[in-house]
Amino acid sequence: MAKQCEICGKKPALGNQITHRGKAKYLGGVGTKVTGISRRKFRPNLQQVHVTMPNGGRTTMRVCTQCIRSGAVAKRVYQKPFKLPKAAEAK
């Protein structure tokens, strides 16, 4: 299974980790210097969630947290929400 979101397709991206040293000029120093650049991976925050499919079925998917927060995925409801009886609502 790839480390990729099954909804939006987000996957690891490559970038740089930049190391600085020194004190900023506005704080009274002589400025910051770059002392090292190394490659790194930006990994998506994938969560394994139980999902209710549009056709009514249920399955497990690896989804990024942005898809969960945006509502692109309907999480599985294990128990129906509590509802008051009709007589109690009328009062």
HEC states along 56-77?
A: CCEEEEEEEHHHHHHCCCCECC
Which residue segment(s) compose the domain that 51 sits in?
13-78
Per-residue model confidence as pLDDT tens digits over 22-66: 999 999 999 999 999 999 999 999 999 999 888 878 899 999 999
Whether the per-residue pLDDT at 1 is higher than 70: the answer is no
> What average pLDDT does the chain have?
89
In a domain, 68, yes or no: yes
Whether the per-residue pLDDT at 15 is higher than 60: the answer is yes
Which alpha helices (DSSP H) does the chain contain, by range? 65-70, 86-90
Between CA 52 and CA 74 the distance in angstroms is 6
Overall domain count for the chain: 1
Between CA 17 and CA 40 the distance in angstroms is 6
Supply 79's token pair: 């128990």
Query: Which pLDDT band holds residue 11 (cuts at 50, 70, 90)?
Result: very high
**pTM given for the model:** 0.66
Query: Which pLDDT band holds residue 19 (cuts at 50, 70, 90)?
Result: very high
In a domain, 6, yes or no: no
